[in-house]
């Protein structure tokens, strides 16, 4: 979906293969990337080696946070089913909603793709988030958190970050130029 050079400058988290190797940990995920533009949140998951052939699910949890909030402003969960190295289906849901926000049969503005890596995009509006000056508005979230995981037979197999989340501060472009 997104070309290689467009990921330059995105938030990146790489697997630490030193921890867990003595305990027989199998490393399936190599790195994850996260980024934004003025409308969308983007994510990319790179596999360690080839895409696994067995059936599994890729799960991406995304939360939005406003300054000084104790709970997330909004949350979405992307679940993608992969069989034989091919993306079979995907859906994006919110915890308090009965219906999917988007799916492979009704993508709306969201997208998900699997080739050498897994990529997705989803609208920031679904997270009540936008890159705004905090002093100007308090009705939108100003930070996103992402977590990527791989599941097989309803059990977690690998995750990045292993503990915690990738944090993205949502700053307006004029603030980025000044930094």
CA angle at residue 79 from 159 to 76, to 5 degrees? Answer: 90
What number is the average pLDDT over the span 68-73? 85
Task: Count the alpha carbons within 13 Å of 2 in the hemisphere toward its beta carbon.
Answer: 24
**In the prediction, which pLDDT does 139 show?**
61
What is the model's pTM?
Answer: 0.84
What number is the average pLDDT over the span 63-91? 92
**In the prediction, which pLDDT does 49 show?**
86
DSSP letter string, 12-26: EEE--TTTTGGGT--
**In the prediction, which pLDDT does 28 show?**
86
**In the prediction, which pLDDT does 143 show?**
85
130 has pLDDT over 80: no
**In the prediction, which pLDDT does 173 show?**
56
- Give the length of the chain: 179
**Top-confidence residue, 134 or 139:** 139
Q: What is the mean pLDDT of the chain?
A: 83
**In the prediction, which pLDDT does 142 show?**
79
- The SS3 of residue 124 is helix
Lowest-pLDDT range of 5-9, 31-35, 164-168 = 5-9
**In the prediction, which pLDDT does 175 show?**
47
In whole angstroms, give the CA distance from residue 112 to residue 43: 9
């Amino acid at each position: 979906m997104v070309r290689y050079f467009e990921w330059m400058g995105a938030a990146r988290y790489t697997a630490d293969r030193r921890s867990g190797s003595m305990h027989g940990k199998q490393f399936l995920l190599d790195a994850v990337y996260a980024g934004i533009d003025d409308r969308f949140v983007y994510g990319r998951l790179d596999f360690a080696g080839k895409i696994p052939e067995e059936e599994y699910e890729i799960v991406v949890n995304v939360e939005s946070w406003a300054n000084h909030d104790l709970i997330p402003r909004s949350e979405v969960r992307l679940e993608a089913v992969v069989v034989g190295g091919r993306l079979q289906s995907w859906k994006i849901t919110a915890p308090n909603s009965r219906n999917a926000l988007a799916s492979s049969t009704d993508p709306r503005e969201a997208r998900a793709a699997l080739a050498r890596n897994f990529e997705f995009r989803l609208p920031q509006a679904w997270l009540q988030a936008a890159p705004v000056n905090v002093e100007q508005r308090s009705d939108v979230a100003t930070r996103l958190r992402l977590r990527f995981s791989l599941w097989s037979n309803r059990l977690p197999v690998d995750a990045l970050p292993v503990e915690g989340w990738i944090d993205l501060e949502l700053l307006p472009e004029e603030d980025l130029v000044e930094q």
